[in-house]
Amino acid sequence: MNTVVITGCTVADGRVADGASPVEDAGILVRDDRIAAVGTRQEILAEVADRTDVDRVDLGGAYVTPGLVNMHTHLSLSLPGAGGDQVKDLNPHELALYMADGARRTLDCGVTTVRCVAEKDHADFALRRAIEAGRVPGPRMFTAGRALVCTGGHGHEGTDTLECDGVDGFRRGTRAQLKAGADLIKVMISGGIAGQHESIDTPQLFADEMAAVIETAHAWGRRVTAHAGPAAVIAQAVELGLDCVEHGYQLTPEVAARMAARGTALVPTLLVTRCKGFFDELGVPEWMQCRSLGAGPAHLDSFATAVAAGVEVLLGSDMPPFWSFEGTNATVRELEHMAEVIGPARALHAATLGPARWLRAEADIGTVEPGRYADLIAMDENPLAAASAYRGVHWVMKGGRVVRTGPPTSGRKTP
């Protein structure tokens, strides 16, 4: 049994948002891939005092939190423009390698779990198996397979979506993703930023089609998340039992209150309406940039409305998690935007324990507790003082194995 003792750190996790205190001068005992004990340095060292087969890690006063969970990830993202066209032109073998490289970079940034919400050609399932088998470094993956859209609906142009129509069509589409191994289902119920022949508030599914997806997924024990912008469409889906909203560009207080009452979470992806540099880098066309950046003020107001109503908000970047952006990586930049509204303690919850609970994986990830996977990251600044502390992540452990140590990185772009 591989045993590691980690000392020289302060331990904090998402429970601080509910009043728990960080553990100062802490120690963490890791056996194989899971945390065996957490306590003071003296307590943990006493447990292994007479052992010589223990690896010892002194983090020199760093702050340790669980690895980040990015709940809106596309490792095969291809937006309109020259950069996206390069990804669309990859053959299946190239695509798999491209996504594997993105997974490695994502883990390198301290994101130890991702929720993929539309990936091309079901390559995500092969990547998930490769990561689980240890053949490829990467985060833990929860994936929706291909997102479900109506004919001509949002994202229909790519192989990361599946066009369906009518109740029977959407039931079949849902079951097709479940057959492939989907952990959740993603459905596009409105227009969005990247569809040239639609608007953000274009309704795209009828109520019976939405119900077909939600009922079928729930019958199989899977949750459903929806790409959605306008309040009226979101309200309808929430009443049908939707579990999560992606983006939520145009929420109203009434709809946000209903989301909170029904337990529907929000992944706001604030970056997508404030990332001109990213768009320029990829050669995203002017029409999309105007639509995206023009939606920014209302998007931020919508997020604040959801927070005020008590909606559970979760971290998700939409941009590739590792992408170098504004001096850090996309995951951290998204968390910084969220923290401006919810504060750093709640941001830590939104990046760790909140996602773990939505994924029904809180017994395995999301906190620094015995029994959880040893998915840990370290930084020199206090993340409970400012979310910008995550810019300084310099040590990453996944499943009890140190996968990166060294100076902070700002993330790396794709080639």
Do both 381 and 294 map to the same domain?
no
Q: Look at residue 410 in the predicted model and tell me its pLDDT.
A: 52
Identify whether 412 is part of a domain.
no
Torsions phi, psi for 319 (to 5 deg): -55, 150
Do both 103 and 15 map to the same domain?
no
Identify whether 145 is part of a domain.
yes
Query: How many domains does the chain fold into?
Result: 2
Q: Which among 177, 258, 160 is positioned nearest to 223, based on CA atoms?
A: 177
Do both 85 and 173 map to the same domain?
yes
Identify whether 76 is part of a domain.
yes
Exposure of 32 by Cβ count < 10 A (0-12 exposed, 13-18 middle, 19+ buried)?
middle
Do both 195 and 293 map to the same domain?
yes
Do both 108 and 252 map to the same domain?
yes
Do both 173 and 183 map to the same domain?
yes
Q: What is the pLDDT along the chain (415 residues), one digit of tens a residue?
A: 799 999 999 999 999 988 999 999 999 999 999 999 999 999 999 999 888 889 999 999 999 999 999 999 999 999 999 999 999 999 999 999 999 999 999 999 999 999 999 999 999 999 999 999 999 999 999 999 999 999 999 989 889 999 999 999 999 999 999 999 999 999 999 998 888 888 888 999 999 999 999 999 999 999 999 999 999 999 999 999 999 999 999 999 999 999 999 999 999 999 999 999 999 999 999 999 999 999 999 999 999 999 999 999 999 999 999 999 999 999 999 999 999 999 999 999 999 999 999 999 999 999 999 999 999 999 999 999 999 999 999 999 999 999 999 876 555 444 3
DSSP letter at 240 equals: T
Q: Look at residue 412 in the predicted model and tell me its pLDDT.
A: 46
User: Which amino acid, one-letter code, is at 81?
Assistant: G
Note down the domain range covering 32.
3-67+366-405
User: Which amino acid, one-letter code, is at 14?
Assistant: G
Do both 343 and 390 map to the same domain?
no
Per-residue b or e along 230-257, where b marks 16 or more CB atoms closer than 10 Å to that residue's CB: bbebbbbbbebbbbbbbbbbbbbeebbb
Torsions phi, psi for 159 (to 5 deg): -85, 10
Identify whether 411 is part of a domain.
no
Identify whether 23 is part of a domain.
yes
Do both 49 and 105 map to the same domain?
no
Q: pTM for this structure? A: 0.96
Contact criterion met (CB below 8 Å) for 202 and 243: no
Do both 46 and 143 map to the same domain?
no
Side-chain-facing half-sphere of 318: CA atoms under 13 Å? 19
Do both 49 and 113 map to the same domain?
no
